[in-house]
Amino acid sequence: MPRGDGDPECIVLKLSNGYNIGVEYKGQKIGLVKKGGKVATVTANKASHDSKKKTISILAVGGTIASKVDYRTGGVVAAYSADELIAAVPELAEIANIRGRLIMQVLSEEMRFEHYAKIASEVAKEIEAGADGVIILHGTDTMGYSSAALSFMLQNLPVGVLLVGAQRSSDRGSSDAAMNLVCAARFLVGSDFAGVGVCMHGSLEDDFCLVHSGTKVRKMHTSRRDAFRSVNVKPIAKIGYENGKIEMLGESYAKKNKEKTKTKLKLANKFEDKVALVKIFPGMHAKQLGYFAENGYKGLVIEGTGLGQMPVNDDKIASENSRIFEVVRRLVADGCVVVMASQCIYGRVNMNVYSTARELEKIGVIGAGDMHPELAYVKLKWLLGNYSGGEAKKKMNENLVGELEPRTEVEKDFE
């Protein structure tokens, strides 16, 4: 590979399994084995439109699934266009009429709510133009935040919208990109799902994918192909890769119906800027929260401990603790909507069990129920973008798009 920023004493070789290896060349001889061929250029698969088939729009926004290795550095950069990716997965054309375009090139760690609003608008355009389903090629890092944001923004969805990513880049033999895409397309064409979901590997093998709820999904592993998990609910569906079988697992999900296709899709893509997500930890100083009080924050999601707690009491050793409570009390008094979620991630917040949390509830902090912290953050940001503080507070405890289950099935949701 061309020399990048690495060790100047080494040459970097790309192995057939996709990994790079650095070899010190000092004192070594380099000989020509054989001349390589010209690198084949992938050309777009111009399948003719089949009116018997449904139409799926694929929108690429960035991430590994739309990436290839940068041979300058050996790292992975966003590069593939949607057309190239479609051409690389010919099975797609057998499932549906495919149309695709690159709407932005943003790595998922760089995604912001302005991007989410743009993605939602583009999805709406595709649906208005007749798409029977939409696939969004997205980086996996913040995919859970994006899918939650889209779940709230895209109201009265008449068709399914699936975010699809890859944990291995598309030019590696072990890439999960093609299978995730194929399963997503099959699910959009073969199910009655009409909501926002995430379709990714369900196991370490290439045997099935899972479709997770757009709100309840979370990336739970840095690198595994089955990194995405449904938190506190069952996945919506399981899709076999070989046999194409769709098995619906979740009981409650947004379904297609005649009413919806008649109703015009509504787009509510505003978010309040002054909302933050803050993690509580032992030894935290109250002043760290001062920024939010001083800058008129409208919403704050606290990632507390256990059932929804944070330091409240004042004792001789830990006199600063009382002040964290004081800052939160002042924030609430100033009209900031403060929501308590749990860093446990699984399970639900219950602020009625322990005295500490009861104190917090008394000053106006509201529990996030079974919404994990990142979901609670996106919901609060969206609510405050579209409703008054009072209404937002009320709706925080209502189930709007499947994000808040009235009861957690303890036995089934956590392995």
Task: Give the residue with the Cβ less far from its own copies, 89 or 340.
Answer: 340
Other Cβ atoms within 10 Å of 294 Cβ, number? 8
Residue 242 in contact with its own copies, rule: CB under 8 A:
no
Task: Let me know: does 135 contact 361? Beta carbons within 8 Å.
Answer: no
Catalytic residue, chosen from 219, 234, 238, 298, is 219
Nearer to its own copies by Cβ, of 188 and 312: the residue is 312
List the interface residues with its own copies, window 324-353 (CB under 8 A): 342-350, 352-353
Annotated active-site residue in 141, 176, 226, 413: 141
Rounded Cα distance, 277 and 374, in Å: 8
C-alpha span between 85 and 42 (Å, rounded): 9
Applying CB under 8 A, the span of 8-16, 46-54, 72-80, 126-134 interacting with its own copies comes to 72-80
Nearer to its own copies, 23 or 353 (CB): 353
Please, which of residues 263-302 interact with its own copies by CB under 8 A?
271, 273, 275-279, 281-285, 287-288, 290-292, 295
Per the annotation, the verdict on 222 as an active-site residue is no
Which residue among the candidates 55, 132, 140, 238 is catalytic per the annotation?
Answer: 140
User: Which residues between 176 and 205 bind its own copies (CB under 8 A)?
Assistant: 204
Torsion of the alpha carbons at 55, 68, 166 and 342, rounded to the nearest 10: -120
Among 45, 73, 386, 399, binds its own copies (CB under 8 A): 73
Chain length of the chain:
415
Tokens found for residue 398? 């209502």
Residues 6+ apart with CB under 8 A from 10: 22, 23, 24, 25
**Cα–Cα distance, 1 to 61 (Å, whole number):** 27
- Cβ of residue 340: shortest distance to its own copies, in angstroms? 11
User: Edge-to-edge, what's the strand order for the sheet holding 366-367?
Assistant: 275-279, 299-304, 337-342, 366-367
Applying CB under 8 A, among 211, 305, 393, 396 the residue interacting with its own copies is: 305
> Which tokens belong to 176?
């999960």
> Which of positions 144-163 make contact with its own copies (CB under 8 A)?
145-146
Helices 373-386 and 143-153 cross at an angle (nearest 10°) of 30
141 catalytic per annotation:
yes
Is 132 a residue of the active site? no
Contacts of 46 (CB under 8 A, 6+ apart): none
219 catalytic residue (yes or no):
yes
Say which residue the tokens 């917040």 belong to.
Answer: 349
For residues 354-413, which are near its own copies according to CB under 8 A? 354-356, 358, 362, 374, 377, 381, 410-411
> Smallest gap, in angstroms, from Cβ of residue 330 to its own copies?
17
Query: Which positions ≥6 away from 136 have C-beta within 8 Å?
Result: 58, 59, 60, 61, 119, 123, 146, 150, 161, 162, 163, 164
Least gap, CB of 44 to its own copies (angstroms):
27
Cβ 117 to its own copies shortest distance, Å: 10
Residue among 55, 57, 140, 170 that touches its own copies (CB under 8 A): 140
Judge whether 44 and 36 are in contact, CB under 8 Å: no
131 or 177: whose CB is closer to its own copies? 177
**49: Cβ–Cβ under 8 A, 6 or more apart, which residues?**
97
User: Mask of contacts with its own copies, 82-121, x by CB under 8 A?
Assistant: ------------------------xxxxxxxxxxx-x---
Q: Among 10-18, 40-48, 124-132, 216-224, which window interacts with its own copies (CB under 8 A)? A: 216-224
Q: Residue 142, interface with its own copies (CB under 8 A)?
A: yes
The footprint of its own copies on residues 5-24 (CB under 8 A) is 5
Catalytic annotation, residues: 64, 140-141, 219
